[in-house]
Amino acid sequence: MQRLRGVVVGARRVPSVILVTAATLVTSVTLLGGVAHAQAGVSVDPGKGYAEVVAQSAFGNVTSQNYGAEFGYTVYPNVQVFAEIGHTRNVATTEISTGAQIIAGYLTQAQPGVVGYTVRQPMTFGVGGAKFLLPISGGPRLLPYALVGFGVAKITQDATFSIAGTDVTTNLAQYGVVLGSDLSGSLTKPMIILGGGVSYPMWQSVLLDFQFRYGHVFVPGQTINVSRAGIGLGLRF
């Protein structure tokens, strides 16, 4: 039996500019937050903490959706620690698509039926980090912020194949094909996120959070960058 596996691209070093950017962001927003606090007049009270649910559009390798929840607690004036858990429906890379194309090409030559395939890489993640608040003194009731966080992401490699409209993913062995780990199974890798947003107190303890997040997952041989933009709805306490 011939064993065909999806293509695994050699390990790729993530540019150090990502980590440099994170360090620069932390330093900058800390200084800005200190200045804003020193000059503060009337500004939004962030409270002791918050909890919110989020819905976001995710884009990068592909366009998808992300859902999750975020929790935060104030540990110092204008500084909060936060934790976020989320699920992105698809972060499929060009590497998994290339591997699936190779398998589909072989199946096309091995039998007369029309071959189709789909690839998905759903991602579930959890991160924690620091959020730096930048209150606006005497301005509108808005609370801008910047954040940086680290965590882990679990990515599922989900490639499916069909012949003449019938799913044959679980029966590929009869065609001499065994999928490799780059097209099946799952992996868990470190993740970093950078981001910012503006929180708006809608009514009493209810808040609306306009968000942007950039995330990079450190996966050898794959480039997984995910940007997310959306809103959060939550409560301050």
DSSP string, 140-176: -S-EEEEEEEEEEEEEE-EEEEEETTEE-GGGGGGGT
pLDDT classification of 46: cutoffs 50, 70, 90: confident
Query: Is 73:171 a contact under the CB 8 Å cutoff?
Result: no
- Grade residue 76 by pLDDT with cuts at 50, 70 and 90: very high
Mean pLDDT of 40-61: 83
Buried b (16+ CB within 10 A) or exposed e, 34-44: eebbeeeeebb
Q: What is the mean pLDDT of residues 61-70?
A: 96
Placement of tokens 């890379």 in the chain:
93
Distance CA 197, CA 225 (A): 19
pLDDT band for position 17 (cuts 50, 70, 90): very low
Say whether pLDDT at 83 is over 70: yes
Any bridge partners for residue 199, and if so which? 143, 209
Starting at the edge strand found earlier in the chain, the sheet holding 166-167 runs: 115-120, 158-163, 166-167
Structural domain boundaries in the chain: 17-236
- 72 has which bridge partners? 50, 82
Residue 58 pLDDT exceeds 80: yes
Q: What is the mean pLDDT of the chain?
A: 85
Q: What is the pLDDT of residues 134-149, one digit of tens each?
A: 988 766 689 999 999 9
In this prediction, residue 139 carries a pLDDT of 63
Per-residue pLDDT, 145:
97
Q: In the CATH hierarchy, which fold is given to the domain comprising 17-236?
A: Porin (2.40.160)
Q: Could you tell me which residues are beta bridge partners of residue 30?
A: none
pTM: 0.79
